[in-house]
Structure 1
Amino acid sequence: MKPKTKVIHAGAFGDPFTGAVSVPIYQTSTYKQEAVGKTKGYDYSRTVNPTRSALEELIKSLEFGKAGFAFGSGMAAISSVLMLLNSGDHVVITDDVYGGTFRVIDKVFKRLGITASFVDTSNPEKVEAAITEKTKAIYLETPTNPLLKITDIAATAKQAHEHGLLLIVDNTFATPYWQHPLLLGADIVLHSATKYIGGHSDVVAGLVAVNSDELAEKVGFIQNSVGAIPGPQDAWLLIRGVKTLALRMEQIENNARRIAAFLEGHRKVRKVYYPGLPGHPGHELAEKQADGCGGMISFDVGSEENANKLLSRVRYFTLAESLGAVESLISVPAKMTHASIPKARREELGITDGLIRLSVGIEDGDDLIDDLKQALE
């Protein structure tokens, strides 16, 4: 089944009871039992719900996994996966990581005795140097947020497994349309499904897929125990959103490549971060391990003052948190998505006050380029 067909027909399709083409929204918390302990597979919706099950079957299929799981947010998915670790364990994690991921590790899991080393995972030597006898997992973002670094998933999987470690990959930016970490050797893949999978700025959710029955049992136990699940309406919105994932990602990719090239040639832009550009240090790897480079672009205009001027003048880019929607969004990571990271650490990474992040949408590419051109001028 080819990718464009798969996003339509993967997972559960329709309703066998009525013939409805759309998976129904089972808005129920509990289910009638035929006798004590004798059910039709459902007893309580925190544990399992038919609409959520359809979504979980869908992400399992799209990510080529053994099982899929849905959560109430991307952070709920990340936190639940990190709950596989025990007090005293250590994780190696990408340094240029989403601010919420940094925050939950640094402010929550650290208190519970789980430690982390934030390193440039695009450099395997730095990953190797960070591994200790207490390390249990390596956690990647690739492309990273917001500097779009690329890590070799297959090579890191081999490195992790040589040490008996789990490899966890946040695949939010690439989406399961462009990149498949489990096929490259990762053990767990996760998404903030709020972003490209939902695609319409109308739902908050997270998704996880795993590559083994053992991990499926463990993650399923955590999901049911913690209960950080989406409701059936949110699950249905994600199923609907996936139907257009292929069309959206191809239009977004086309726009992003054109915009990145325009920005790279503009005199008022100091630096552009986009793996689709030949000058990007991870360009060849990005082209090799994924089928597309996605719709996220970051660029530096030199100062907070310049960034604010541009933000005040754009017309088609909406100043907002989040990403991955049909409408183009714009943000300043240092002041928004990554504000929870200490300023000194941000500057060390290159997340300057003049760094702007674009989430390119599906609008006409000419309009988006014209908008950025007039704002920069």
Structure 2
Amino acid sequence: MRFDTKAVHAGVTPDPSTGAIMTPIFQTSTYVQQSPGNHKGFEYSRTQNPTRFALQDSIAALENARYGLVFGSGLAAIDAVIKLLKPGDEVISANDLYGGTYRIFTKVFENFGIKFHFIGMEDVANIENYVNDNTKLIWLETPTNPMMNIVDIKGAAAIAKKHNIILGVDNTFASPALQNPMDLGADIVMHSVTKYLGGHSDVVMGALAMNSDVLYQRLAFIQNSCGAVAGPQDCFLVLRGIKTLHLRMQRHCENGEKVARYLAEHPKVNKVYWPGFESHPNHAIAKEQMRGFGGMISFTFHEDDMQQSFRVMERFKVFALAESLGGVESMANHPATMTHGAIPREERMKVGLLDSLIRLSVGIEDADDLIADLEQAIG
């Protein structure tokens, strides 16, 4: 089944009791049992819920995986992955990643004796320099947040398999419409479902997809035991959002390219970070492992002046100045003070995350209106 068809149908079957074409919202905390232990597969909604199960099946299908699990947020999904580890284990992570991921790694799990190495992964061969007997997980984003760096998933997977290490890939920026890390050798694919999968800025949720029976059993146990599950109402909203994922991503990509090329020609703009440019580092890898370059763009001005960026963002009329991304509406974000504020400035500077950098999530509005908004805001 091709992706566009899966987006509409995967995980969703008519309700057997009514024939309803959409999965009902099973807004219940518990299920009546005919006798102790006779529960027809459903006992308690932290453990099992039909609406959540339908969404998990849908996300698994979109990622060409056997199993899916959804959580109360993207960070809750990452939290579950790190709980696969034990004190003394080590993680190799990209040094350009979402600030919340950096925060949970360094401020929470380092306190439990897990060691993290944050390294450049533009050349995945660099990973080998940090592998040792304690390395249990490689964690990467591609494209990265917010520098839009591209990491060779297939190359990272080869290293992970060589050393019997789990490879986890945050696929939030690409979405399964543009990239399927499982097909390239990843063991776990993570999504902040809040973003493109939900697509309408009305849900907070995370998801994991995997093929391994062992990983699924361990992560499902963590999901149930730790309790960071997604509620049925939110699951219903995401099931609805996924039905238009392929259409939305097509428009995000089209608008993203127009905005990126406009910014690249603007005399006040210094650098534009978008993997669709042939000059972008690892553009060839992006072209190979992605089916489009997405609607996420970052850019800087000629002088690293935070106040200039503030003035521009305060003048936006169509772009909303807000945290998050991936909604139908366009958003602007200042990573240094917003999404990546937890990362020390010296660490941000090492990867080029300047004080003036603005991150755009290009929505599905008319591209000419978005460009006109940029024109009046930048001046």
TM range (shorter): over 0.9
| Alignment correspondent of 1:58 | 58
The aligned residue for residue 233 of structure 2 is: 233
Distance across 2 between alignment mates of 1:56 and 1:352: 38
Q: CA deviation at 1:14?
A: 2.8
Aligned twin of 1:323: 325
Judge conservation of contact 1:192–1:207 (CA < 8 Å) in 2.
yes
In the alignment, structure 2 segments of 5+ residues that lack a partner are: none
Equivalents in 2 of 1:196, 1:14: separation in Å? 25
Q: Deviations over 1:135-168 (max 9, x none)?
A: 0010010000000000110111011110110000
CA distance in 2 between partners of 1:124 and 1:210 (Å): 22
Stretches of 4+ aligned residues off by more than 4 angstroms: none
Shift of 1:65: 1.0
Give yes or no for the alignment of 1:184 onto 2:184: yes
Q: d(CA) in 1 for partners of 2:350 and 2:169?
A: 23
- Work out which of the residue numbers 344, 348, 351 in structure 2 matches 1:349: 351
Deviation at 1:312, TM superposition (A): 1.8
Aligned equivalents of 2:129 and 2:250: distance in 1? 38
Letter in 2 for 1:193: V
Deviation at 1:28?
Answer: 0.5
> 2:12·2:22 contact (CA, 8 Å) conserved in 1?
no
> Counterparts of 1:57-206 in structure 2 under 5 Å?
57-206=57-206
Q: Which residue of 1 aligns with 2:310?
A: 308
In structure 1, give the amino acid aligned to 2:310.
Answer: N
TM-score, normalisation: structure 1:
0.99
Residues 94-129 of structure 1 deviation map (CA, whole Å, 9 limit, x = unaligned) = 110000000000000000111100011222232111
Shift of 1:13: 2.2
Deviation per residue, 1:269-310 (Å, 9 max, x gap): 010000011111121111100101111000002311210121
Q: What is residue 221 of structure 2 aligned with on the other side?
A: 221
Contact kept? 2:314, 2:321, Cα under 8 Å: no
In the alignment, the residues of structure 2 paired with residue 273 and residue 192 of structure 1 have an alpha-carbon distance, to the nearest angstrom, of: 21
Q: Distance in 2 between matches of 1:312 and 1:140?
A: 32
User: SS state of the match for residue 269, structure 2?
Assistant: coil
Q: Secondary structure at the match of 2:340?
A: coil
Three-state SS of the structure 1 residue aligned to 2:137 is strand
String of CA shifts for 1:38-80, please: whole Å, max 9, x gaps: 1111001000100000000111111111210010000000111
Once residues 20 and 68 of structure 2 are traced to their aligned partners in structure 1, the CA distance between those partners, rounded to angstroms, is: 24
Match of 2:30 in 1: 30
Aligned partner of 1:47 in structure 2 is 47
| Corresponding residue SS for 2:348 | helix
Query: Distance in 2 between the 1:211 and 1:139 partners?
Result: 17
Work out the CA distance in 1 between the residues paired with 2:346 and 2:184.
Answer: 35
Unpaired runs of 5+ residues, structure 1, are: none
* Residue 12 of structure 1: how far off its partner (Å): 2.5
Measure, in 2, the Cα distance between the counterparts of 1:160 and 1:149: 20
* Amino acid of the structure 1 residue aligned with 2:323: E
- Higher deviation after alignment, 45-54 or 117-126: 117-126
- The residue identity in structure 2 corresponding to 1:38 is N
Match of 2:366 in 1: 364
1:358 partner letter: L
Matched, 1:211 2:211: yes
Contact 1:66 1:216 in 2 (8 A): no
Q: Distance in 2 between matches of 1:14 and 1:314?
A: 44
One-letter identity of the residue aligned with 1:181: P
Distance 2:100 2:224 in 1: 23
Aligned counterparts of 2:210 and 2:308: Cα–Cα separation in 1: 44
Q: Is the 8 A contact 2:69 2:209 kept in 1?
A: yes
Give the corresponding residue for 1:373. Answer: 375
Residue 299 (structure 1) aligns with: 299
Distance 1:142 1:250 in 2: 18
* SS in structure 1 of the partner of residue 190 of structure 2: strand
3-state DSSP class of the match of 1:111? helix
Q: Structure 2 CA distance, aligned partners of 1:149 and 1:85? A: 27
1:313 counterpart letter in structure 2: R
Cα separation, 1, equivalents of 2:282 and 2:244: 28
- 1:230 and 1:256 map into 2 onto residues whose CA distance is 30
Structure 1 SS opposite 2:112: coil
Deviation at 1:17, TM superposition (A): 1.2
Give the Cα–Cα distance (whole angstroms) in 1 for the partners of residues 124 and 231 of structure 2: 40
Percentage of identical aligned residues: 51
Contact 1:324 1:359 in 2 (8 A): yes
Shift of 1:314: 1.4
